[in-house]
């Protein structure tokens, strides 16, 4: 029973993180940073700023 609860918790956490990333537009931002390497600002700097 413990392992089932742990898996449910992990799935809930993944869902929550995914929803948060979609809400703030991080996926789109990641694509822009990765495809446009001309930027001097790294993705980790942007994430730490958030």
Instruction: Express each pLDDT in 21-39 by its tens digit.
Output: 778 777 777 777 665 556 6
Cα angle 11-16-35, degrees, rounded to a multiple of 5: 105
Contact criterion met (CB below 8 Å) for 21 and 27:
yes
Q: What is the DSSP letter of 40?
A: S
- Determine the Cα–Cα distance for residues 48 and 13; give it in Å rounded to an integer: 20
Residue range(s) defining the domain that contains residue 8:
2-49
Most confident of 4-8, 30-34, 45-49: 4-8
In this prediction, residue 15 carries a pLDDT of 86
Total domains in the fold of the chain: 1
Phi/psi zone of residue 41: left (φ > 0), alpha (ψ -120 to 50 degrees), beta?
beta
Higher pLDDT, 49 or 14: 14
């Amino acid at each position: 029973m413990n392992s089932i609860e742990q898996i449910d918790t992990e799935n809930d956490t993944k869902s929550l993180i995914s929803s948060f990333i979609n809400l703030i537009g991080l996926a789109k931002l990641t694509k822009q940073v990765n495809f446009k390497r001309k930027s001097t600002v790294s993705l980790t700097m942007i994430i730490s700023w958030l």
